[in-house]
Amino acid sequence: MPFPILRTSFVVLSEIISLLEPNEIVTASLCSKKVRHLLKNHYQRRKPSKWRLSMFSWGLVDIMTRTVSKRINVMMARHISEQEGTEHKSIEFNGYKGTLDKGLPILYFRDHVFGIKMVVDYVTDLFGLDIYGFTTGSDGLWAFDWINNRQEKLLGGKGLNKNPNYALNEDKTDDDVLIVRNDVSINARFNGKLGPPDVLLLDSDAHWVTCDYLMKSDAIKLFVSFSKLSELELNSFLRHWRAGGSPRLAYLKVRFDDEDTYFVNFDEDLETFETKAWTRFRVVVDDDCFEIREDYIIQRQDGVKATIHCGLGHFTMFVWHSDKN
């Protein structure tokens, strides 16, 4: 027997809605105008301020509800030429045909750009959210002006990616984020158009990242995965930092390509000293707190100190800026 959800009390409805994931809410909103109106009113009263909505130039919209690992695809626009042969449940919205693929509503349009704008407008209006992050390939640069004209709030995250089948699965934070992947040409990585990011995620395959690249990145939080950086290069970077380089840096995390790599040899001129304290840190990119063992302390010439932790397969550095920690 169907549950008469529209006839239940406001309190009960609020509890039911709070149990739904963003993709389930979007799907439910497509059932009828009454359901959409109910859900929209709910989020006008209880705006999900911690949620981060991202759009992708190939038509995908997703929402991060809390941390890096909690991203959910909620809606997608595709060109009508991709509709043929679909075996998923058919849906229709505002006269546009679509399918439901594993809980993801996908609508098909003759004008793909129009469809992308319509899908983004629908989701942002439903939840009362601005666009927080935008990831694009070379064909989606039009969206930067469109986003800037539709909302006052600046983008929190910007990404470059050539793979339209990729569903982003990492951060966004309250900072400016740049995601760089190995399928983007090196010339596009820093062309000056996006400016220095606050958070720089070099994941997927960062073999190409050199010490010189780290020095020039000018990020506050810097994450490097599958790195081939050597002890010599890391020592050079630390020497650069001690001399006043990378002044904005607050957090550096390097995961080595070789999981058995263990960085332990510091050059004498770096004047590091060993410690065995435990400190609790909050890394904003993950919105989580965790404890880390302090293996070494290093001090910059202006007196600012940093904590270094050397683990098997990774190197972590926290800088203790007096105005940020």
69 domain residue, yes or no: yes
Task: Tell me, yes or no, whether 3 and 141 share the same domain.
Answer: yes
Task: Tell me, yes or no, whether 5 and 133 share the same domain.
Answer: yes
* Predicted local confidence at residue 227, as pLDDT: 86
Q: How much is the average pLDDT of 301-313?
A: 88
Q: From CA 124, how far away is CA 40, in angstroms rounded? A: 10
Q: Do the beta carbons of residue 65 and residue 74 sit within 8 Å?
A: no
Least confident of 22-31, 114-123, 235-244: 22-31
Quote the tokens at residue 244.
């006043």
- Sign of the dihedral defined by the CA atoms of residues 265, 270, 271, 272, in that order: negative
What's the mean per-residue pLDDT of the chain?
77
162 domain residue, yes or no: no
313 domain residue, yes or no: yes
Cα 218 from chain centroid?
Answer: 18
Task: Tell me, yes or no, whether 143 and 56 share the same domain.
Answer: yes
7 domain residue, yes or no: yes
Q: From CA 227, how far away is CA 238, in angstroms rounded? A: 16
Q: Could you tell me what percent of the chain has a pLDDT over 90?
A: 23
Q: Could you tell me which residue, 30 or 90, shows the higher pLDDT?
A: 30
Last residue in a domain, options 131, 150, 169: 150
* Predicted local confidence at residue 237, as pLDDT: 95
Last residue in a domain, options 111, 135, 150: 150
Quote the tokens at residue 68.
């890096």
23 domain residue, yes or no: yes
Region of 159 please: left (phi>0), alpha (psi -120 to 50) or beta.
Answer: beta
Task: Tell me, yes or no, whether 69 and 125 share the same domain.
Answer: yes
53 domain residue, yes or no: yes
Give pLDDT tens digits for 253-279: 898 988 888 887 889 999 988 877 666
SS3 sequence of 166-179: CCCCCCCCCCCEEE
Last residue in a domain, options 113, 133, 150: 150
Task: Tell me, yes or no, whether 121 and 221 share the same domain.
Answer: no
Task: Tell me, yes or no, whether 206 and 146 share the same domain.
Answer: no
Q: Could you tell me which residue, 122 or 9, shows the higher pLDDT?
A: 122
Task: Tell me, yes or no, whether 24 and 140 share the same domain.
Answer: yes
- Does residue 206 have a pLDDT over 90? no
Measured from the Cβ of residue 238, the count of other Cβ atoms closer than 10 Å reads 24
Domain count within the chain: 2
* Predicted local confidence at residue 172, as pLDDT: 36
Q: How much is the average pLDDT of 125-129?
A: 94
Task: Tell me, yes or no, whether 126 and 263 share the same domain.
Answer: no
Q: Do the beta carbons of residue 232 and residue 210 sit within 8 Å?
A: no
Task: Tell me, yes or no, whether 123 and 208 share the same domain.
Answer: no
Backbone angles phi, psi at 137, to 5 degrees: -100, -165
Task: Tell me, yes or no, whether 106 and 249 share the same domain.
Answer: no
Give pLDDT tens digits for 154-181: 776 666 554 444 443 333 333 344 554 4
172 domain residue, yes or no: no
Residue 109's nearest CA partner among 133, 72, 76, 149 is 76
Q: Do the beta carbons of residue 65 and residue 22 sit within 8 Å?
A: yes
The band of 324, judged by pLDDT with boundaries at 50, 70 and 90, is: very low
Range of the domain at 15: 1-82+89-150
271 domain residue, yes or no: yes
SS3 sequence of 257-311: CCCCCCCCCCCHHHCCEECCCEEEEEECCCCEEEEEECCEEEECCCCCEEEEEEE
Task: Tell me, yes or no, whether 217 and 297 share the same domain.
Answer: yes
- Sign of the dihedral defined by the CA atoms of residues 242, 248, 249, 250, in that order: positive
* Predicted local confidence at residue 49, as pLDDT: 75
Q: From CA 208, how far away is CA 227, in angstroms rounded? A: 8
Task: Tell me, yes or no, whether 34 and 138 share the same domain.
Answer: yes
